[in-house]
Chains A and B, each alone.
Chain A
Amino acid sequence: MLRIGVFVCHCGTNIAGTVDVKAVAETLGKEPAVVFSTDYPYMCSEAGQNIIKDAIKEYQLEGVVVCSCSPRMHEATFRKAVAAAGLNPYMLEVANIREQCSWIHKDMAEGTAKAIVLGRTAVAKVQLNAPLTAGESPVVKRALVIGGGIAGIQTALDIAEAGYPVDIVEKEPTIGGKMTQIDKTFPTLDCSSCILTPKMVECAQNENITIYSYSEVEAVTGFVGNFSVKIRRKARFVDEDKCTGCGACTEKCPVKNAPDAYNLGLSNRHAAYIPFAQAIPNVAVLDKERCIKLTKGKCGLCSTVCSAGAIDYEQQDSFVEEKYGAIVAATGYNPINIDGYDEFAYSQSKDVVTSLEFERILKADGPTEGHLARLSDGKQPKTIVFVQCVGSRESGSAHGCGKEYCSKICCMYTAKHAMLCREKYPDTDVYVFYIDVRTPGKNYDEFYRRAVEQYGVHYIKGMVGKVAPQADGTLDVQASDLISNEQLHVKADMVVLAAAIEPDKSARPLATMLTASMDTNDFFTEAHAKLRPVESPTAGVFLSGVCQGPKDIPETVAQAGAAASKVIGLLAKDKLSCNPCVAHSNEMKCNGCSSCANVCPYGAITYEDKDFSRRKDGTMMRRVASVNEAVCQGCGACTVACPSGAMDLKGFATSQIMAEVDAICK
């Protein structure tokens, strides 16, 4: 039997408030193999760790059990302490008597009894622990950023700046994301393109950055430090290396009725197109659904006018396979589809628009060339009503597409829109209907107050119940004014809806490929909500921008930089130490059935034919499983799948789990 020491932590009153820690230490001290048992207010403190180290030496401990908080919190701390005293760090077990005991029990007697059982279980397990040594795996010094909005751009620039090569995969023909569509940006009202374009150009020019535009991630295998990624480069029917971006193809293309995605379908473009003037890369694309040559085999005009000979109607999707040490998700967001909100007449009237559509109307390269005008008749609206929280903060089933969360950015951009209207067109009457105005942040509330106090925007607390298009082309907006306790009717020329935002639809399948977790709203989950906000729980996968939760540009850029610094920290290492708690197969039991390889989510299991010949029996070759320890993540799926019980997990062996169960049932 190993000589075991038990250390019971009070965690201040966190544990000691509901668990009689002295009784726990005393009772566990009587367990057969336990030669030392004590308690201490803060086991994780330096003094607490010293108690462990001293006891290991004084009592020649061979195994250590700490009864404290969750191993997720401090297992690493105690492993280090144990190792410092000369013991193998894997000769430690943590019994979680806080999250799984004191915090969930109110009764001292019950809590204490359970803590004793949990401690006894850990003692039983540590008896069967074996010293383990972590292996090492090399780090590929290249990063992948998925999504080329401001989040992806900033992360890529920071990684490249530190000297590491980084690839950006962007599904659209150009990088830039939503910022390319926005006119001016709060809180300073500088022009979005003016601050974004230089960064886009920098991405194109930085020799450490490769942009795969019009591309998508097709498959991901591997693990932290060593991912293999397959990237689909969608056919754009234009040779990226030859195209000079002159636009001759666009000018001559006879198709003129393709909805222009850059303008959210508010105007049309040609089938041969470059998304907008500052696109990066500045390369044309042929829209394969609309191009006459590609759909009907006729036309071919663009290839005759392209002096660079870049048009290639035969181009096929191609694939790139590359290895990366780290992957950053930066897939951003989209406004939700609000067709279901009949009460706001969005589908009925062209003059009811979403806020992002309104950005296009305000912006010089939009459908109205930057003039504030109604889309129905081109007239300048005299009265504009803004409605906040459309589809946000909705827990009800009313529309089926509402989001329970606050979209966070719309209070600020609505104040911006209202202000811009009043500034450029002072004779416009502007109303904002709000439930709450949420503008925390540096200079943010001041910004909103400016809209009210300097620009005379009418902020009304209450929600719009109904928008009804009238025969004279105006919109009757019926709303409640909660402060004066009346129902209002505003005769408006235009209504702007601050639609909720949601993660890009492609994020969910991407998360599956990355084995990264998501919340119920499809935002990527961070490893720790407070302490590890830019890392996914999946090692080597990092999060940047709105794909992790609603954010404005300053927050996005800050988070993008933080994600980059985590990536740089990882790529700066030559080797990573692996988790030694991995699977291994007992070759004498394995019958080579492939059950384990079929369930392994990481592809860590291969089979080899091995010679098991004995001297007299002649040759005997058998197919047996073998685990690649660098790839195995220790999930344990194979151990359950193996019909012959040949697969086992180091540190979590079946015998250890059974010993724990026995200890609980005793």
Chain B
Amino acid sequence: MADYKELVLTASGVNPLKCMRCGKCSGTCPSYDAMEYHPHQFVYMVEKGDIEKLMESKSIYTCLSCFACVERCPRDVEPAKLVEAVRLAVIRQQGKNHLKSEQIPDMVDEELPQQAIVSAFRKYSK
């Protein structure tokens, strides 16, 4: 089986050892209640190598990719980049179900907020 920890660390460029476990990321996260694992837990679980649990969790899709946790972290850990990297691990595992830029125009309708398009692209284009 692939070494997911290595993949997540390289893809995100995050060093979880910088985390001082303050919880400010989770104190700031607007999607906290919709997430089974919270941003500080992503950091700790990646550090421990518990990546499969994260890959199976809905949390990687309920994260809004708002980057509030990245903005507020006092130690520049960038938890959202780990969430993103775990999504990437899932995509790599499932095969190439990428979102291609040409597909986007067909999906867009009047109602869809622009932020959602950007966010979706960030999530599914890896």
Contacts and interface: CB of A to CB of B under 8 A. Distances in A.
B87 to A, nearest CB: 22
Given A487-B32, A487-B33, A396 B24 contact: no
A435 B20 CA distance: 8
B76 A465 contact: no
Interface in B81-126: none
A480 B40 contact: yes
Contacts of A485: 38, 41
B65 interface: no
Interface in B1-58: 18, 20-29, 32-33, 38, 40-41
Contact of A398 (B26, B29, B76): B76
Contacts of B24: 463-465, 480
Given A394-B74, A398-B73, A465 B26 contact: yes
Given A395-B18, A435-B20, A487 B74 contact: no
**B contact patch SS:** helix
Interface string A628-646: 0000000000000000000
Nearest to A466: B28
B27 A487 contact: yes
Contacts of B75: 393-396
A398 B27 contact: no
A579 interface: no
A402 interface: yes
Interface string A615-634: 00000000000000000000
A479 B38 CA distance: 13
B29 A343 contact: no
Contacts of B33: 487
A482 interface: yes
A461 interface: yes
A293 B78 CA distance: 56
B21 A396 contact: no
Contacts of A463: 22-24, 27
A185 interface: no
B69 to A, nearest CB: 9
A188 interface: no
Contacts, number: 75
Interface residues of B, number: 24
Nearest to A482: B23
A151 interface: no
A343 B28 contact: yes
A479 B27 CA distance: 4
A477 to B, nearest CB: 9
Interface string A7-26: 00000000000000000000
Interface string A458-474: 00011111100000000
B27 A466 contact: yes
B108 to A, nearest CB: 32
B81 to A, nearest CB: 14
Given A343-B28, A480-B40, A482-B40, A398 B23 contact: no
A480 B38 contact: yes
A397 B75 CA distance: 8
Given A343-B72, A396-B76, A398-B76, A465 B29 contact: yes
A460 B28 CA distance: 16
A160 interface: no
Contacts of B28: 343, 465-466, 478
A128 B46 CA distance: 62
A36 to B, nearest CB: 53
Contact of B74 (A396, A462, A479, A482): A396
Contacts of B76: 395-398
Interface of B: 18, 20-29, 32-33, 38, 40-41, 68, 71-77
Given A396-B76, A461-B23, A487-B33, 10 more contacts: A389-B22, A395-B75, A462-B22, A463-B24, A463-B27, A465-B27, A480-B24, A480-B40, A482-B40, A487-B29
